[in-house]
């Protein structure tokens, strides 16, 4: 008896391929319309297996794709260092080989394109094949390697797009990340402008469904003469879930130990450990921290956009499963691996996964009273200065992030940057330090709600109140911009609304700036807007590592196009764009752009025109609608010069 579960790479035996019926039908529908498709999924999820299965004549004919479709597979690893001409030549060689394997007559134009490769020769060959009634589908596996080829430029990708538009030619790429994420940074910023990346329909490949996973467990073993008991089948699925590789591994050892689940689990976890380590070490510290405390964090996701984004990314990486309003691990083996991963301090000490201070804890001269907020990057507690008897907010960097030098640097940068700011609409920082590896920042305590809570509870806000928020937040932003500081993460959860009475009670040391701002307030409005969280702020002309590398930083729903392309090259107009998104959301109750995945959201900010808020809120005055659309202009030059100039448009009396 042979063990059928031997594959640790792409599945080549059609009898061992299970599931993916919906994905295959969707791909076929796109290909019939000459639409290119980008398959996106994490490592070992079965992308290459899917491509191989699609190429089989019984598969594609069952999907309604006739024999005129010629599938041509290329592993982009072999194209990673090639020139334009070499890659076009390789395309021709592989198409000629696919013709031969199909039993079709050779095409002389392909031989010419292989001997004297280039764009024109390649297109002539495609045209000749189309004239023979053939439709060419280029399957570009491991597309990351092609996208990082230093020899390629925007002209190469434009040539690919042009060929797909003129001929019966489509591309089917496979990559671990969306195409746009592969091309927005560094050298590839020019490539991003290529329309090539607009022609793809994204298809996300995740875990197998439970029904498909159980087929993979059950059918090959039965065909080999062993029937797993229902208890063993349940055991295997609970151990590894719908991860195709992990299922192969667990089933392989179950064939040897059908009556010893403990031996199966021990052997499977030992083999999977290297794969789990790969997944783990390719996560950010914030993602690792979330996985360690997913039960606790999931409950806070509704009020934290950063947290929701991280949870969404982990789900797309098949490391979590979204289940109603909760998240869970795909299988017990992965859960056990995560539980065993403990962060370490800068000195190598193992730390608990979260700081989780309790009431009465002393942090320097401050007493912790109660938790008041948590995000993906920090925990905030209400506290008291024991000697001054003053209420404060204490922001703590979790131990799992404090172990990373980059996060400690960002945390300290925020403290130094905000401590230098003196404005009535910017939260004031009093102190910063670390005690036994606990990094903390002490700020003024702001009683009240943030704007994200207001939006969640009420959906929309009256225009006169929006005008106040715009007035005060724009004043804070312009003040910071004048000092050379760009916030880069303006969003509702970073704007606190403090009741007027509460502000008055804590403003015995009011400045002249505060008095002038107070005089501008319209009577009857109940609060002041306070801007917080300068954690990823950029000093204009500064020299921080994050901005020099061009790393994209911020919250994608509110991010200006230029911030997506190069976070290190933004000015205050990026904050004005984000403020325009906030204004749109307060007016309509919705974001201007909605997308199912980060790549689509990036494309929306980069390319889609901003929708008129009057489509959702017809009562919006034309003056305000035009101002929001101008703030959301793709080109910074077309926006307002200052945030206050944008906010001034909300004054309908002027």
pLDDT tens for 361-383 read: 777 788 888 887 765 566 788 99
One domain, residues 432 and 469? no
Query: Do 484 and 601 fall into the same domain?
Result: yes
What pLDDT score was predicted for residue 523? 45
Question: pLDDT band at residue 188, thresholds of 50, 70 and 90?
Answer: very low
Residue 538's contacts (CB-CB under 8 Å, 6 or more residues apart) are 485, 486, 488, 544, 547, 567, 568, 570
Does residue 193 sit in helix, strand or coil?
coil
Give the number of residues written for the chain.
654
Would you say 318 and 206 are in contact if contact means Cβ atoms under 8 Å apart? yes
- Is 2 inside any structural domain? no
The alpha carbon dihedral of 346, 409, 387, 390 has a sign of negative
CA distance 426 to 419: 10
Distance from C-alpha of 27 to C-alpha of 185, rounded to nearest angstrom: 28
Q: What is the torsion angle, in degrees rounded to the nearest 10, for the CA atoms of residue 178, residue 533, residue 395 and residue 381?
A: -100
Q: Could you tell me if residue 190 is inside a domain?
A: yes
- pLDDT for position 437: 66
Closest CA to 612 of 589, 586, 588: 588
**Across 54-68, 190-204, 534-548, 589-603, least confident range:** 534-548
This prediction has a pTM of: 0.67
Do 515 and 591 belong together in one domain?
Answer: yes
Nearest to 470 by CA among 582, 554, 626, 623: 582
Query: CA-to-CA distance for 138 and 556, rounded, in angstroms?
Result: 32
Could you give the 3-state DSSP secondary structure of residue 322?
strand
Confidence of residue 651 (pLDDT cuts 50, 70, 90): confident
326-375 pLDDT per residue, tens: 899 999 999 999 988 865 544 444 444 445 555 667 777 888 888 877 65
End-to-end Cα separation, the chain, in angstroms: 86
More confident residue, 500 or 254: 254
In a domain, 1, yes or no: no
Which CATH number is 125's domain given? 3.40.50.300
- Alpha-carbon dihedral angle through residues 624, 630, 634, 637, given to the nearest 10 degrees: -150
Question: Residue holding tokens 């947290």?
Answer: 307
Q: Who wins on pLDDT, 54 or 602? A: 54
Q: Is residue 345 part of a domain?
A: no
Q: For 106-202, where are the alpha helices, taking DSSP H only?
A: 108-115, 119-131, 143-147, 154-166, 179-183, 189-192
Half-sphere exposure (CA, 13 Å, Cβ side) for 15? 10
Q: What are phi and psi of 75, to 5 degrees?
A: -90, 115
* Residue 11 within a domain: no
The answer to whether the beta carbons of residues 56 and 120 sit under 8 Å apart is no
- If asked whether residues 453 and 387 sit together in one domain, one would say no
Taking CA atoms, 622 is separated from 472, 615, 625, 648, 653, in Å, by 22, 12, 5, 14, 13
- Answer yes or no: do 544 and 520 share one domain: yes
The CATH number linked to 262 is: 1.10.8
Q: Per-residue confidence at 498, pLDDT binned at 50, 70, 90?
A: confident
Beta strands at 36-40 and 200-204: parallel, antiparallel or unpaired: parallel
Same-domain check for residues 524 and 617 = yes
Residue in 387, 323, 341, 376 with CA at minimum distance from that of residue 535: 376
Same domain membership, residue 265 and residue 135: no
pLDDT digits (tens, 9 = 90+) for 292-306: 878 766 666 665 666
Six-digit token string for 222: 């039965």
pLDDT class for 206, splitting at 50, 70, 90? very high
Alpha-carbon gap, residue 471 to 476, rounded angstroms: 9
Which residue is catalytic, options 489, 509, 533, 543?
A: 489
Indicate which CATH number applies to the domain containing 307: 1.10.10
Residue 540 has pLDDT above 70, yes or no: no
Angle (CA) 227-230-231 rounded to 5° is: 115
162 half-sphere exposure, CB direction, 13 A CA radius:
12
DSSP 8-state secondary structure symbol assigned to residue 330 = S
Asked whether residue 266 is domain-assigned, the answer is yes
Residues 35-46: tens digit of each pLDDT: 999 999 999 999
Q: Are residues 160 and 272 in the same domain?
A: no
User: What CATH number does the domain containing 385 carry?
Assistant: 3.30.200.20
Q: Are residues 508 and 563 in the same domain?
A: yes
Strand partners, 373: 380
pLDDT at 278 over 80: yes
- As given in the structure block, the two tokens for residue 634 are 């793709």
> What is the distance between the alpha carbons of residues 57 and 63, in angstroms, rounded to a whole number?
10
Closest CA to 331 of 422, 412, 425, 234: 234
User: Which positions ≥6 away from 118 have C-beta within 8 Å?
Assistant: 84, 85, 88
pLDDT at 416: 77
Q: How far apart are CA 450 and CA 532, in angstroms?
A: 10
Kindly report the CA angle at 93 between 90 and 97, in degrees rounded to 5? 140
The mean-pLDDT minimum among 94-98, 144-148, 172-176, 239-243 falls in: 144-148
pLDDT grade for 492, boundaries at 50, 70 and 90:
very high
Q: Among the ranges 201-215, 304-318, 433-447, which has the highest mean pLDDT value?
A: 201-215
| Coarse DSSP helix, strand, coil percentages of the chain, rounded to the nearest 5 percent | 50, 15, 35
Domain boundary among the residues 280, 297, 317 is at 280
Final residue before a domain boundary, out of 444, 474, 504: 444
Which one of 444, 461, 486 terminates a domain?
A: 444
Dihedral (CA of 236, 241, 242, 243) sign: negative
Mean pLDDT of the chain: 84
| 143 and 128 within one domain | yes
Residues 6+ apart with CB under 8 A from 389: none
Q: Output the CA angle 234-235-236, nearest 5 degrees.
A: 95
Say yes or no: 129 and 192 in one domain. yes
Determine whether 75 is an active site residue.
no
Distance CA 83, CA 61 (A): 35
Segment 420-427 shows an average pLDDT of 88
Report the number of distinct structural domains present in the chain. 5
Same domain, 469 and 597: yes
CATH code, domain with 609 = 1.10.510.10
| Host domain of residue 133 | 20-204
Q: Which of 376, 395, 407 is nearest to 291 (CA)?
A: 376
Confirm whether 13 is domain-assigned: no
């Amino acid at each position: 008896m042979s063990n059928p579960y031997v594959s640790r790479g792409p599945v080549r035996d059609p009898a061992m391929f299970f599931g993916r019926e919906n994905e295959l039908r969707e791909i076929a529908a796109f290909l019939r319309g000459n639409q290119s498709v980008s398959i996106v999924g994490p490592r070992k999820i079965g992308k290459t297996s899917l491509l191989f299965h699609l190429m089989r004549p019984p598969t594609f004919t069952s999907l309604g794709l006739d024999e005129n479709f010629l599938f041509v597979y290329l592993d982009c690893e072999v194209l990673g260092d090639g020139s334009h001409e070499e890659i076009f030549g390789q395309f021709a060689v592989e198409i000629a080989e696919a013709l031969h394997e199909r039993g079709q007559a050779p095409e002389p134009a392909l031989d010419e394109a292989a001997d004297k490769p280039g764009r024109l020769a390649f297109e002539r060959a495609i045209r000749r094949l189309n004239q023979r009634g053939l439709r060419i589908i280029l399957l570009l596996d491991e597309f990351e390697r092609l996208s990082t080829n230093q020899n390629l430029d925007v002209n190469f990708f434009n040539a690919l797009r042009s060929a797909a538009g003129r001929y019966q030619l489509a591309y089917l790429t496979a990559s671990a990340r969306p195409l746009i994420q592969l091309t927005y940074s560094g050298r590839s910023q020019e490539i991003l402008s290529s329309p090539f990346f607009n022609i793809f329909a994204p298809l996300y490949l995740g875990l197998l469904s439970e029904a498909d996973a159980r087929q993979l467990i059950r059918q090959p073993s039965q065909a080999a003469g062993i029937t797993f008991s229902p208890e063993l089948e349940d055991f295997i699925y609970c151990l590894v879930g719908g991860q195709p590789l992990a299922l192969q591994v667990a089933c392989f050892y179950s064939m040897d130990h059908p009556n010893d689940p403990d031996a199966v689990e021990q052997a499977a976890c030992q083999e999977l450990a290297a794969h789990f380590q790969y997944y783990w070490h390719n996560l950010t510290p914030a993602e690792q921290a979330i996985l360690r405390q997913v039960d606790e964090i999931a409950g806070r996701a509704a009020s934290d956009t950063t947290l929701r984004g991280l949870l969404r990314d982990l789900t797309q990486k098949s490391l979590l499963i979204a289940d109603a309003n909760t998240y869970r691990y795909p299988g017990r083996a992965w859960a056990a691996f995560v539980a065993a991963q403990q962060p370490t301090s800068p000195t190598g000490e193992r730390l608990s996964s979260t700081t989780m201070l309790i009431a009465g804890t002393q942090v320097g001269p401050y007493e912790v009273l109660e938790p008041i907020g948590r995000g993906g990057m920090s925990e905030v507690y209400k506290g008291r200065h024991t000697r001054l008897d003053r209420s404060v907010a204490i922001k703590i960097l979790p131990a799992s992030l404090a172990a990373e030098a980059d996060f400690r640097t960002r945390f300290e940068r925020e403290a130094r940057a905000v401590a230098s700011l003196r404005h009535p609409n910017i939260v004031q920082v009093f102190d910063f330090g670390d005690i036994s590896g606990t990094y903390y920042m002490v700020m003024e305590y702001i009683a009240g709600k943030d704007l994200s809570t207001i939006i969640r509870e009420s959906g929309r806000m009256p225009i006169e109140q929006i005008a106040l928020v715009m007035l005060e937040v724009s004043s804070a932003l312009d003040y910071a911009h004048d000092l050379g500081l760009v916030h880069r993460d303006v969003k509702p959860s970073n704007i606190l609304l403090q009741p007027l009475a509460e502000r008055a009670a804590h403003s015995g040391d009011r400045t002249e700036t505060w008095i002038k701002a107070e005089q501008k307030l319209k009577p009857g409005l109940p609060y002041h807007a306070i801007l917080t969280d300068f954690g990823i702020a950029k000093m204009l002309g500064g020299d921080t590592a994050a901005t020099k590398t061009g790393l994209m930083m911020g919250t994608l729903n509110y991010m200006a196009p230029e911030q997506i392309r190069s976070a290190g090259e933004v000015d205050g107009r990026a904050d004005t764009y984000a403020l325009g998104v906030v204004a749109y959301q307060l007016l309509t109750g919705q974001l201007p752009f909605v997308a199912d995945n980060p790549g689509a959201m990036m494309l929306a900010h980069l390319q889609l025109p901003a929708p008129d808020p009057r489509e959702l809120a017809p009562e919006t005055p034309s003056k305000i609608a035009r101002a929001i659309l101008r703030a959301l202009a793709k080109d910074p030059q077309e926006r307002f010069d200052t945030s206050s100039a944008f906010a001034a448009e909300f004054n309908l009396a002027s």
